[in-house]
C-alpha cells in the first residue's frame, strides 16, 4: 500500500509540475518578447504573474499530499500576526532532507511565493530546473576552499548572481529562503566539520548578508524555521510513500536587529549577521535537543 502511495504521489506531483511549466514557458516567451521591445512596465507585470505558477504548483501539491495522507505536520507559529502576502520576507531554515522544500512551501502559505537558493546542478533537472531559472531563483555554486584558492575570481560569481536575483525580487513581494547550512544534515557531515551544534551543521551567513543588504528597504522580517522529523529523517521516496507520519515545524517571525540595519558597509553587515545567525542557531539547536529529549522520556 505504501509503495502504491509513493508511485501515485510521485506521478501526480510530477504531472502537476509539467502542467505548471507549460503556461510558465509560454509566459516566459511573452516576457522575453516584451523585453526585446523595451516595454519594461509590461515585463515587470509579466514577471509578477509568472509567480502565480508557484502558487498553483504549491497549492496543488498541498491538496495531493492531503488527499493521499502523505504526512501530517504540527506547526507552531510565534509572532506571525503581521504576515501579509503583500510584503517581502527572508526565511532561514535547517536542512535535513529533500522533502524540507515541499514542507516549507506547504507550511509558509501566508507569505508571498518562496524562492530559494539552489545549486547550479539543479538546472539540468527536466522542467524543474528551467522553471526555477525562469522564475528568478538564485543559483549558486558550492565552492571548496581549494577551488577558491585556485581561482579567487570564483568567489564573486555567487555574489553577483545573488545581487542580480535580489534586484529582480524588488519587482513584487517575494519570500527568499536560504538553507544557511548549505547542505543537508548527516551525521557524517556533522563529524567532518567538527560542528559547533549537536543537531545542526554550522551556518553560513554570507548569502543572507547579501539578501539583507540588497533588500534592506523591502524586507519586513525574518522567518526563522526549525524542521524536525520525530521518527527519523526520511528520504524523498520514504516521504512520498507516506512513511513520514509526522513533521514538527517551529516558525518564529523575527525583526531584523538594529545593528544589522545600522551596519555601514557589506563587510560590517556580514559580521553583524554572522553574530545574529550564530545566536539563532544556538536557539534552534537547543529547541531540537529539548524536543528530542522529551520524546525519549
CATH code at position 177: 3.40.1130
All 3 cell numbers of residue 95?
536542512
> Between β-strands 246-254 and 219-228, what pairing exists: parallel, antiparallel or unpaired?
antiparallel
> Between β-strands 219-228 and 88-93, what pairing exists: parallel, antiparallel or unpaired?
parallel
Q: Which residues pair with 75 in a beta bridge?
A: 249
d(CA 171, CA 166): 9
Q: Which of 244, 233, 128, 247 is nearest to 184 (CA)?
A: 233
On whether residue 12 sits in a domain, the answer given is no
On whether residue 1 sits in a domain, the answer given is no
On whether residue 200 sits in a domain, the answer given is yes
The count of structural domains within the chain is 1
pLDDT tens-digit profile of 141-195?
666 566 666 776 666 777 787 888 888 899 899 999 999 998 899 989 988 887 7
List b or e across 221-239, with b for residues whose CB sees 16 or more CB atoms inside 10 angstroms: bbbbbbbbbeeebbeeebb
Q: What is the largest CA-CA distance in the chain?
A: 66
On whether residue 179 sits in a domain, the answer given is yes
Length of the chain: 297
Say what the pLDDT of residue 146 is: 66
Say what the pLDDT of residue 150 is: 72
Is the four-CA dihedral 67, 71, 74, 78 of positive or negative sign?
A: negative
On whether residue 88 sits in a domain, the answer given is yes
Say what the pLDDT of residue 54 is: 92
Q: How many CA atoms lie within 13 A of 291 on its CB side?
A: 18
On whether residue 41 sits in a domain, the answer given is no
On whether residue 44 sits in a domain, the answer given is no
> Do 103 and 249 contact (CB within 8 A), yes or no?
yes
Say what the pLDDT of residue 37 is: 92
Tell me what percent of the residues of the chain surpass a pLDDT of 70.
94
On whether residue 211 sits in a domain, the answer given is yes
Is the four-CA dihedral 279, 282, 284, 286 of positive or negative sign?
A: negative
> Cell 502576502 sits at which residue?
85
Looking at the chain, the number of H-run helices and the number of E-run strands are 12, 8
d(CA 185, CA 247): 16
> Do 25 and 134 contact (CB within 8 A), yes or no?
yes
Collect all residues with Cβ–Cβ distance below 8 Å to 170 and sequence separation of at least 6: 215, 218
Collect all residues with Cβ–Cβ distance below 8 Å to 182 and sequence separation of at least 6: 142, 201, 204
**Residue ranges of the chain whose pLDDT lies below 50:** none
Say what the pLDDT of residue 152 is: 67
Say what the pLDDT of residue 138 is: 82
Q: Give the domain extent around 206.
A: 71-296
Say what the pLDDT of residue 123 is: 77
Amino acid at each position: 500500500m505504501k509503495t502504491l502511495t509513493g508511485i501515485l504521489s510521485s506521478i501526480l506531483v510530477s504531472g502537476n509540475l509539467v502542467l505548471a511549466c507549460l503556461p510558465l514557458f509560454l509566459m516566459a516567451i511573452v516576457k522575453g518578447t516584451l523585453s526585446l521591445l523595451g516595454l519594461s512596465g509590461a515585463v515587470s507585470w509579466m514577471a509578477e504573474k509568472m509567480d502565480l505558477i508557484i502558487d498553483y504548483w504549491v497549492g496543488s501539491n498541498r491538496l495531493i499530499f492531503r488527499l493521499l495522507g502523505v504526512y501530517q505536520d504540527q506547526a507552531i507559529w510565534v509572532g506571525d500576526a503581521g504576515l501579509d502576502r503583500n510584503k517581502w520576507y527572508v526565511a532561514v531554515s535547517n536542512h535535513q532532507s529533500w522533502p524540507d522544500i515541499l514542507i516549507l512551501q506547504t507550511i509558509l502559505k501566508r507569505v508571498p511565493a518562496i524562492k530559494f537558493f539552489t545549486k547550479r546542478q539543479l538546472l539540468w533537472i527536466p522542467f524543474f530546473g528551467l522553471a526555477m531559472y525562469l522564475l528568478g531563483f538564485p543559483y549558486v555554486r558550492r565552492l571548496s576552499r581549494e577551488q577558491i584558492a585556485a581561482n579567487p575570481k570564483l568567489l564573486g560569481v555567487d555574489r553577483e548572481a545573488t545581487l542580480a536575483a535580489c534586484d529582480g525580487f524588488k519587482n513584487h513581494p517575494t519570500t527568499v529562503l536560504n538553507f544557511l547550512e548549505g547542505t543537508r544534515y548527516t551525521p557524517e557531515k556533522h563529524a567532518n566539520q567538527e560542528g559547533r551544534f549537536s543537531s545542526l551543521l554550522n551556518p553560513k551567513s554570507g548569502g543572507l548578508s547579501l539578501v539583507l543588504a540588497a533588500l534592506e528597504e523591502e524586507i519586513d522580517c525574518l522567518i526563522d524555521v526549525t524542521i524536525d522529523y520525530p521518527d527519523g529523517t526520511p528520504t524523498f521516496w520514504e516521504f512520498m510513500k507516506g512513511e513520514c507520519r509526522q513533521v514538527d515545524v517551529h516558525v518564529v517571525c523575527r525583526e531584523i536587529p538594529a545593528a544589522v540595519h545600522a551596519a555601514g558597509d557589506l563587510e560590517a553587515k556580514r559580521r553583524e549577521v554572522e553574530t545574529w545567525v550564530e545566536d539563532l542557531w544556538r536557539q534552534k539547536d537547543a529547541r531540537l535537543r529539548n524536543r528530542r529529549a522529551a520524546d525519549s522520556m
